[in-house]
């Protein structure tokens, strides 16, 4: 099972406790009544949906119930990092570059291996 | 009219029947039992109110994720950065925070939840049948608590002792939770 680090619970938790909540860092325009339909469509409906690193909102709905932001690679489904809501986008060096394999492995390996537990059925 | 109503109430048995009353699963290595009635408070408050609320409750609200505090039969479980679940086996929590002036929200959820106690050496394995979290002592020590999932429902899990867990689920899900845990005890196997 995928483990996702919740920045509020400060540990890796199973993915079943989480829910995806759309693209992160969308700023609601302050002049919605004045803007053109095309601009509103861009804000309201159009999402970037890139292949590679995406900034997303996630919610630890069956845990602390908090929204937070995550950087995930849509190709490998690896979470690069997670950070609290309201914090600026983390500096990932080369934003558009694909995730280097080494750091992907480091990220996955951060979770403590479950010791002395039976294999999942 | 009043006399008729009284006669009717005498004919109907109006005694309270708690959810899961009389349910019990006993296996050699694990037992599942309802916890009995508890007074419960869903508490939300900002950092600034924590000390006043702790004083009123008589228990210091834990600030660390996944931790709980217990004093004189009253327990406070950390659920989120500004959210706690208060449990009391004896007292009534409904009026416990009445005099607190600091900003907070306290909702009596005594009858929303049902508590189930899973105890015995196989308790960890039984819960892990439906709870995906790591329940080993290293990751989930005595006193640890967390909102998580059990099968298809959301629960609050609290480790009261090495081999004793308290499961809080919503009342309408209590049959599911109990049946699930009963099946899980059969699968849990001898540790």
B102 and B120 co-located in one domain: no
B54 and B31 co-located in one domain: no
Among candidate residues B87, B109, B131, the one where a domain is terminated = B109
**Domain residues for B47?**
39-109
Give alpha helix (H) positions in chain B.
2-11, 50-57, 123-128, 174-188
pLDDT at A116: 42
Rounded to whole angstroms, what are the CA distances from B95 to A24, B39, B91, B99, B107? 41, 11, 10, 8, 10
Give the separation between CA A16 and CA A66, rounded to whole angstroms.
15
Give the separation between CA B128 and CA A121, rounded to whole angstroms.
10
pLDDT at A108: 46
Mean pLDDT in residue range B58-84? 95
Radius of gyration over every alpha carbon of chain A, rounded to an integer in angstroms: 17
pLDDT tens column, B7-65: 776 777 778 788 999 999 999 999 999 998 999 999 999 999 999 999 999 999 999 99
Mean pLDDT in residue range B135-161? 97
Mean pLDDT in residue range B98-109? 94
**Which residue, chain included where needed, has tokens 């869903």?**
B42
At residue B186, does pLDDT exceed 60?
yes
pLDDT tens column, A3-36: 999 999 999 999 999 999 999 999 999 999 999 9
**Which residue, chain included where needed, has tokens 């967390």?**
B146
Mean pLDDT in residue range A37-60? 94
Among candidate residues B109, B139, B154, the one where a domain is terminated = B109
**A3-109 CATH:** 3.30.2270.10
Threshold 0.95, pTM exceeds: no
Q: Which of B46, B42, B37, B43 is nearest to B19 (CA)?
A: B37
CA torsion sign for B158, B159, B161, B165 is positive
B117 and B191 co-located in one domain: yes
Q: How many domains does chain B have?
A: 2
B27 and B43 co-located in one domain: no
Distance from CA of A98 to the nearest CA of B (A): 30
pLDDT at B13: 72
Q: Does residue B5 belong to any structural domain of this protein?
A: no
B144 and B60 co-located in one domain: no
Q: Does residue B12 belong to any structural domain of this protein?
A: no
B28 and B65 co-located in one domain: no
Give the separation between CA B188 and CA B190, rounded to whole angstroms.
7
Among candidate residues B109, B132, B149, the one where a domain is terminated = B109
Mean pLDDT in residue range B161-180? 97
Mean pLDDT in residue range A70-90? 94
Q: Does residue B52 belong to any structural domain of this protein?
A: yes
Contact B79, A64 (CB under 8 A): yes
Distance from CA of A94 to the nearest CA of B (A): 33
Q: Does residue B15 belong to any structural domain of this protein?
A: no
Q: Does residue B16 belong to any structural domain of this protein?
A: no
Give the separation between CA B110 and CA A89, rounded to whole angstroms.
42
Reduced to 3 states, what is the DSSP secondary structure of residue B51?
helix
Q: Does residue B66 belong to any structural domain of this protein?
A: yes
CB nearest to A62's CB, from B81, B138, B154 = B154
At residue B140, does pLDDT exceed 80?
yes
pLDDT at B16: 78
| Helix (H) / strand (E) containing A1 | none
User: Is B47 an 8 Å CB contact of chain A?
Assistant: no
The DSSP code for A116 is T
B33 and B77 co-located in one domain: no
pLDDT tens column, A90-121: 988 654 544 445 444 444 444 444 444 444 44
pLDDT at A45: 95
What is the chain A residue with the closest CA to B82? A64
pLDDT at B5: 67
B132 and B170 co-located in one domain: yes
């Amino acid at each position: 099972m995928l483990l996702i680090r919740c920045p509020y619970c400060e540990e890796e938790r199973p993915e079943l406790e989480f829910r995806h909540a759309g693209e992160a860092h969308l700023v609601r325009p302050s002049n919605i009544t004045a803007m053109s339909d095309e601009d509103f469509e861009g804000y309201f409906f159009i999402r970037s949906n890139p292949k590679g690193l995406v900034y997303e909102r996630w919610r630890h709905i069956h845990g602390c119930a908090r929204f937070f932001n995550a950087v995930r690679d849509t190709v490998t489904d690896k979470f690069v990092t997670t950070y609290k809501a309201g914090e600026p986008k983390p500096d990932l060096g080369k934003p558009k570059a694909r995730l280097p394999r080494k750091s992907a492995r480091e990220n996955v390996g951060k979770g403590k291996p479950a010791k002395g537990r039976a294999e999942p059925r | 009219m009043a006399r008729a109503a009284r006669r009717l109430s005498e004919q109907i048995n109006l005694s309270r029947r708690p959810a899961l009353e009389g349910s019990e699963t006993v296996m050699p290595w694990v037992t599942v039992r309802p916890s009995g009635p508890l007074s419960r408070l869903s508490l939300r408050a900002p950092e600034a109110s924590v000390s006043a609320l702790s004083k009123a409750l008589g228990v210091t609200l834990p600030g660390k994720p996944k931790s709980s505090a217990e004093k004189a039969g009253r327990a406070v479980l950390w659920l989120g950065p500004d959210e706690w679940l208060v449990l009391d086996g004896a007292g009534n929590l409904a009026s416990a925070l009445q005099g607190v002036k600091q900003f907070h929200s306290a909702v009596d959820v005594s009858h929303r939840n049902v508590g189930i106690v899973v105890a015995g050496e196989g308790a960890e394995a039984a819960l892990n049948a439906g709870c995906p979290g790591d329940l080993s002592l290293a990751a989930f020590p005595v006193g640890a608590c967390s909102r998580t999932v059990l099968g298809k429902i959301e629960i609050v899990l609290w480790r009261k002792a090495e081999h004793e867990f308290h499961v809080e689920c919503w009342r309408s899900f209590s049959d599911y939770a109990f049946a699930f845990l009963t099946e899980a005890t059969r699968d849990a196997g001898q540790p």
